[in-house]
Structure 1
Amino acid sequence: MLDNALRKAAAVWLAPEGHAARLVWALWRDDTVLVAVGGTEQDVPGLADGVPCLLTVRSPTTHSHLVDVPVTARLVDPDEDTAAALRSARLNAAPRWDSVYRLEPS
Structure 2
Amino acid sequence: MTELSAPAAGGDTSPLGPALVEEATKKSGLVWVRGEGPERALWHLWHEGAMYLIGDGGDEQPLPGLTDGGTAEVTVRSKDKGGRLIAWAASVREVEPRSELWETVAPELKGKRLNAVDSDGVLDRWARDCRLLCLTPVSSTTDLPDGSLAAAPADSPVTTRRPAPAALPRLLLGRKRKRG
The TM-score, its normalising length taken from structure 2, stands at: 0.54
**Structure of greater relative contact order (alpha carbons < 8 Å, 6+ residues apart):** 1
1:63-98 alpha-carbon deviations (Å, 9 max, x no partner): 111111111111013432311111111112334431
Q: Contact conserved, 2:27 with 2:79, CA < 8 A, in 1? A: yes
Q: Which has the higher strand share?
A: 1
Cα distance per residue 1:2-46 (max 9 Å; x no partner): 1110121111100003x2211011111122100101223101211
| Residue ranges of structure 2 left out of the alignment (5+ in a row) | 1-19, 139-180
Q: Find the aligned partners of 1:103 and 1:13 in 2 and give their Cα distance.
A: 13
CA distance in 2, matches of 1:54, 1:71: 6
> Using the alignment, how far apart are the partners of 1:50 and 1:74 within structure 2?
5
State whether structure 2 residue 71 is matched by structure 1 residue 48: no
Report what 1:27 is aligned to.
45
Q: 2:89·2:137 contact (CA, 8 Å) conserved in 1?
A: yes
Larger radius of gyration: 2
In structure 2, C-alpha distance between the alignment counterparts of 1:12 and 1:71, rounded to whole Å: 13
CA distance in 2, matches of 1:7, 1:105: 13
The residue type paired with residue 99 of structure 1 is R
Taking the aligned partners of 1:57 and 1:83, their CA distance within structure 2 comes to 22
Q: Which protein has the bigger helix share?
A: 2
Please list every run of at least 4 consecutive aligned residues from structure 1 whose deviation after the TM superposition is greater than 6 angstroms.
none
Number of equivalenced pairs = 105
Identity of aligned residues (%): 33
Show the counterpart of 2:106. Answer: 83
Please give the TM-score of this superposition, normalised by the length of structure 1. 0.89
SS class of match (1:49): coil
The residue type equivalent to 2:137 in the other structure is P
- Give the aligned residue type for 2:102: D
**Coordinate RMSD, CA, aligned:** 1.4
CA distance in 1, matches of 2:102, 2:32: 25
* Equivalence for 2:79: 60
